[in-house]
Amino acid sequence: MATIEHAGVSAGRQGGTPTRSEIEDFLYLEAQLLDEWKLDEWLALFAEGATYDVPTTRADDDADSADQLFLVADDYARLQHRVRRLKKPGAHSEWPRSRTAHSISNVRIVEAEGDELLIRSVFVTYRAKNDVTDCYFGHHFHRIRVQADGLRILSKRSMLDMSSLRPHGRVSIIV
């Protein structure tokens, strides 16, 4: 049986491609870490050099932040900065922090090449703050590398399948 440690970096069997179930456990762990606001542990799921993107609501799956406006287009250094900032009281949009519930489903391994996997999943993220609850939904693309010490996210793209971000119009949380 596979093991997934709390830090989320030790997953899978010795060698070979992880099963869909093991990938699901990894994605569920990522969601749990975000819900529990364990942002340092969440960041540890990412490989150095990783990226995190959230295109606008009307973007195509293959949109490029070099050509189009994105809500979030973080390289690894920017992602580290985002985590540090979100944990400080000066991050007014998230202090006190939002309460979230990340739900992941329909997990599919859509591509496997060498030690890299492309995973597609569907998400719903509920965010409650200041007596208002927002719902964000869409699909994720995770590019994951299988390493000797477990799984690492090489890139994460969260595609919002909503027609707009109304009524509140912002994404201050990590979807």
The pLDDT mean for the chain works out to: 87
CA nearest neighbour of 15 among 109, 111, 147, 108: 147
Instruction: Establish whether the linkage from the previous residue to 55 is cis, with ω within 30° of 0.
Output: no
Q: What pLDDT does 168 receive?
A: 65
Beta bridge partners of 138: 123, 160
- CB 132 within 8 Å of CB 173: no
Q: Which residue has the higher pLDDT, 35 or 69?
A: 35
Map out the domains of the chain with their CATH numbers.
20-160 (3.10.450.50)
Q: What pLDDT does 84 receive?
A: 93
Vertex 155: Cα angle to 110 and 115 (nearest 5):
55
pTM over 0.85: yes
Instruction: Establish whether the linkage from the previous residue to 167 is cis, with ω within 30° of 0.
Output: yes
The predicted-structure confidence for 115-155, as pLDDT tens digits, reads as follows: 999 999 999 999 998 898 989 999 999 999 999 889 999 99
Instruction: Please tell me the distance from the alpha carbon of residue 42 to that of residue 37, in angstroms, as a whole number.
Output: 9
The predicted-structure confidence for 3-19, as pLDDT tens digits, reads as follows: 334 444 344 445 578 99
CB within 8 Å of 109: residues ≥ 6 apart: 17, 20, 23, 117, 118, 119
Q: What percent of the chain has pLDDT over 90?
A: 60
Q: 78 pLDDT exceeds 90? A: yes
